[in-house]
A and B are shown apart, each in its own frame.
Chain A
Amino acid sequence: MFCKCAARASRALRPTHPRCGVLTLPALSDTVSASGTSWSHWTYKRESSNSAWSSKVPQIPTWEPVAENQLPPPDLVDKLERLALVDFGSKEGVDCLEKAIRFADQLHVINTDGVEPMDSVLEDRELYLRDDTITEGECAEELLRLAKHTVEEYFVAPPGNIPLPKREERSAMLKHSEF
C-alpha cells in the first residue's frame, strides 16, 4: 500500500475531504463499526454540547490507502537505465535482457538449501597484508594528465544532484551526442 501523498510531493499532507468532520468520512465509516459508533456518537454528542468550540481537528487518521493497482506500472527499463547510466539503445536491447533473465532463471532448478554463498576461491587462505608504510605516491601530475577537465589539482565535474532527464529528453540528448 502506498500513501498517495508521498507520490505527489507537490500536494501538502492534507486529508482527502478537508471539510468533513469525523462522522461523515465515507472511507472510515465502515471501520468505525458497532463499537465505534458509540464512541463517535459520544464525541458528536460532546461536540454538540460544546458547539461554541467544536473541534475542527479530525480525531482519527484521514489518509486513504492507495491500492497497488492505482499506481502506474513500475518502469523497469527506466530504472535500470538510471542505475546503470547506460541505455538499452533499442527494443532489441530490451529483448536481449529478457532472454538473459530467462537464461538465468535456469538457476532455480538446482536446490541450494543450506549452501553457503561463495565470494572468493581464496576463502580458506590467509591473504597477505603489507606493512602500513608509504612506498610510492607523488603521482598527482601523471594522473591529472589523463583527465579532460582539471583545474589545479582537481578533477572538474559538472554539477551533481541533478537527476537524469526524463525518457524523451534523454533520447534527444543521447541522439544529439551521437559520436
Chain B
Amino acid sequence: MSASSAASRPAAMLGLSIREVSQALRDGRVSATELCRKCINQIQRTRYLNAFITITEETAMEQAQRTDSRLRTGKKGIPFSVKDNFCMENIETPCASGMLKGYVPPFNATVVQKLLDQGAVLVGKTNLVEFAMGAGSTDGVFGPVRNPWSYTSLYREQSTEDPDSDWAITGGSSGGSAAAVASLSSFLALGSDTGGSTRNPGSLCGVVALKPTYGLLSRHGLIPLVNSMDVPGIMTRSVHDAATVLRILQGRDERDSTTVQAPSTPPRLPEHFDIRDICVGIPKEYHAPGLSKDTLAQWSRVADMFEQAGARVQEVSLPHTQHSIVCYHVLCCCEVASNMARFDGLEYGHCSKVDSSTDAMYATTRHEVFNSVVRRRILSGNYFLLKSNYERYFVKAQQMRRLIAEDFKNVFRTGIDVLLTPTTLSDAARYSDFIQEDNRTRSAQEDVFTQPVNMAGLPAVTVPTALSHRGLPIGLQLIGQTLQDWKLLTVAQWMEQKVNFPMIHLHGESNERELNRSVRERTHTIGS
C-alpha cells in the first residue's frame, strides 16, 4: 500500500508509519488537529480493548491546534500514548493501582518531556498490570487489556465462541501501550521493560518493541520496579520509527544518575546495508520446553533467511539461560520489596483512616490497596532479604547475574553481532486459559526469553514476523551488544523488510475483506 493511496483513505492514515505521516503533515495532506481527532476517534471505537486508563482528549486537541498554528518541522503533531507508570504533570497517574488512585504528579517524566518538546501530542495514558508486575496485563485495577488481533476476521473465523468471552491477552506488563499501537490508536507508545514488559506484549500484539541498553534512556519519572533493570521501552509499527524515537529520547539526564552518554547516532538508519557483514548467533538454550510449533517454525525460517542472504549464522551457547528466570525472580522480588516501601500513604497516594500508630496506618494503607501479586512479591522479597537468607538468596542471585552477563559477553567476544531468539513461547493465550495459573507461574513462563537481557543490560528488539495458525502475531527477538542499539536496529530493519508482516484489519472495517484474503494467502505461504 503506497503512501499516496493510503493518504486518500482517512482510516488508512492511522496505519502509516511515523515517517510517512510526518511527510503527510509536512505536505499539508493532513493537519495535526485532524490527525489527533482521528486517533481519538479510533480510541473510542476500540474502547472494548480497554487499552487506555486516561484519554487526554482536551489537552491533546489543544496541543495539536497549537502545533498547527506554528510552522515547525520535526515530529510535530504525532499522536503518542504513554504507559501509566510514567509521571505526567497534572495528569492522574494511578499506575493501575489503588495506591496511586488520585495521585497527580507535579512533574513530567524526562522521556515524556522530550517527546512533548518535539511537538508530539499525547492522546492518553495506557493500561498496564498493577505496578507493572506481571506478564498478562490481566491484573490491574482497571481490568485486563484485550489483544486487538482477537478482533480480526481471521481470528473470529477460527474461533467458535462469542467474541466477548473468547479474546486473547496482550501480554504484559505494557499491554495497553502495545494494544494502542497495534489498534492504530497511536503512532508510538512508551512502555517500560524490566523483564520483558515491552517486548512481550509487543510480540503478542504484532508491533515493534525496543528495549534500549540500560542507562541510555532516563528513568526519571518512571515509577520504579527494579532499579537495576528497568528501562523505558519504545513501541512502534516499524523499526525505522523505533530508531527515530530512540534518537530523540536517548542521552544523559541530570536527574537520573544511572544514565550514560549516548553514542553518536546518524540521522536515520542506513537504507542500504550488506547483511553479509553480519554474524547472527542462535543460542541453543532458547529452545525451551513449551516453545510452540509456530514459533519454532518462524525462528527457523528467519534464521534460514539470514543464511540464504549471505549472513554468517551459527549456533552458540548461553549456558546459564535455564536458571536465569530463577535469578530474575529473586532479584526482582528483593528490589520490589525495597521500592514498594515508599508507599506508606504519608506523603502521597492513598491513606487509610487508621491512625493509632504509624505502623498501623502503613499496614492498613498497604493492605487496602495492594493486590495479591504486589503483596506476594513484597513478602517474598523480604524473605530473601532476611539476615539469615541474604547470602543464600540475594547474594547468590547477584553472583548468578554476573554469570549470565558473562555468558553474553563471551558469545559477543567471538565475533557474533546479534543473537536471534524467540520472544515468547507461543502466540497470545486466550484470557480464559491464561488466568488458570497464578501470576508468578505465568511470569516465570512468559519472561523466559526476555529477562536474561535485562539482567545483562543489553539492547533487544522484537520484530513481528508472521501470524500463527490462530491468526495471532508471532515475533522474534534480536539481542545486541551494549550501546550498539543502532547496529541492532539496522539488522532488525533488514529482517522486517524481508518477513513482510501483514497489517491489522479490525473486524468491521470496509476494505478488510479484500485485504484479509491477501493476508491469508501470505500466511499460507509463510506456514508451508
A contacts, CB < 8 Å to B: 79-89, 92-93, 96-97, 99-101, 103-104, 106-110, 112, 115-122, 125, 127-130, 135, 139, 142-143, 145-149, 155, 157-160, 162-165, 170, 173-174, 177-179
Q: Give the distance to chain A from B226, nearest Cβ to Cβ, in Å.
A: 11
**Inter-subunit contact B363/A164 (CB<8 Å):** yes
Instruction: Tell me the complex Cα distance, A160–B384, Å.
Output: 27
Instruction: Tell me the complex Cα distance, A16–B221, Å.
Output: 61
Q: B341-357: which residues lie under 8 A (CB-CB) from chain A?
A: 344-349, 351-357
Q: Give the distance to chain B from A97, nearest Cβ to Cβ, in Å.
A: 6
**Inter-subunit contact B327/A84 (CB<8 Å):** no
List the B side residues contacting A100 at CB < 8 Å.
329, 333, 376, 380, 383, 440
Instruction: Tell me the complex Cα distance, A159–B358, Å.
Output: 6
Q: Which 3 A-B pairs have CB atoms at the shortest separation, nearest pair first?
A: A121-B457, A117-B398, A162-B357
Q: Give the distance to chain A from B328, nearest Cβ to Cβ, in Å.
A: 11
**Inter-subunit contact B368/A177 (CB<8 Å):** yes
Which one of A107, A155, A173 contacts B364 once the chains associate, using CB atoms below 8 Å? Answer: A173
List the B side residues contacting A127 at CB < 8 Å.
257-258, 260
**Inter-subunit contact B351/A148 (CB<8 Å):** yes
Which one of B104, B367, B375, B399 contacts A116 once the chains associate, using CB atoms below 8 Å? Answer: B399
- Nearest chain-A residue to B319 (Cβ)? A110
**Inter-subunit contact A104/B214 (CB<8 Å):** no
Which one of B355, B376, B382, B384 contacts A158 once the chains associate, using CB atoms below 8 Å? Answer: B355
Which one of B261, B327, B344, B348 contacts A146 once the chains associate, using CB atoms below 8 Å? Answer: B348
List the A side residues contacting B106 at CB < 8 Å.
139, 142-143, 145-146
Instruction: Tell me the complex Cα distance, A81–B346, Å.
Output: 19
Given A112-B399, A148-B345, do A179 and B368 touch, yes or no (CB 8 Å)?
yes
Segment from B161-169, B173-181, B389-397, B506-514 that makes contact with A: B389-397
Q: B310-360: which residues lie under 8 A (CB-CB) from chain A?
A: 320, 323, 326-327, 329-330, 333, 337, 344-349, 351-360
Instruction: Tell me the complex Cα distance, A163–B359, Å.
Output: 7
List the A side residues contacting B384 at CB < 8 Å.
104
Given A84-B378, A86-B370, do A107 and B396 touch, yes or no (CB 8 Å)?
yes
The A-B contact count (CB < 8 A) is: 197
Q: B115-163: which residues lie under 8 A (CB-CB) from chain A?
A: none
List the B side residues contacting A87 at CB < 8 Å.
363, 367, 375
Render B481-520 as a binary contact track against A, CB cut-off 8 A, 1 for contact.
0100000000000000000000000000000000000000
Q: Give the distance to chain B from A150, nearest Cβ to Cβ, in Å.
A: 9
**Inter-subunit contact B360/A164 (CB<8 Å):** yes
**Inter-subunit contact A157/B358 (CB<8 Å):** yes
B contacts, CB < 8 Å to A: 98, 103-104, 106, 214-215, 228, 252, 254, 257-261, 320, 323, 326-327, 329-330, 333, 337, 344-349, 351-364, 366-370, 372, 375-376, 378-380, 382-384, 386, 392-393, 395-403, 405, 438, 440, 444, 455-457, 482
List the B side residues contacting A130 at CB < 8 Å.
254
Q: Give the distance to chain A from B479, nearest Cβ to Cβ, in Å.
A: 14
Q: Give the distance to chain B from A89, nearest Cβ to Cβ, in Å.
A: 6
Q: Give the distance to chain B from A28, nearest Cβ to Cβ, in Å.
A: 33
Given A107-B327, A162-B357, do A84 and B98 touch, yes or no (CB 8 Å)?
no
List the A side residues contacting B320 at CB < 8 Å.
110
Supplied contacts A83-B386, A89-B375, A146-B104, 6 more A-B pairs, CB within 8 Å: A83-B382, A85-B344, A117-B398, A121-B215, A177-B352, A179-B369
**Inter-subunit contact A96/B438 (CB<8 Å):** yes
Instruction: Tell me the complex Cα distance, A178–B412, Å.
Output: 54
List the B side residues contacting A143 at CB < 8 Å.
106, 347
List the A side residues contacting B353 at CB < 8 Å.
177
- Nearest chain-B residue to A112 (Cβ)? B399
Instruction: Tell me the complex Cα distance, A83–B362, Å.
Output: 11
List the B side residues contacting A116 at CB < 8 Å.
399, 402
Given A86-B367, A146-B348, do A119 and B372 touch, yes or no (CB 8 Å)?
no
**Inter-subunit contact B360/A165 (CB<8 Å):** yes
**Inter-subunit contact B372/A179 (CB<8 Å):** no
- Nearest chain-B residue to A130 (Cβ)? B254
Q: Give the distance to chain A from B420, nearest Cβ to Cβ, in Å.
A: 22
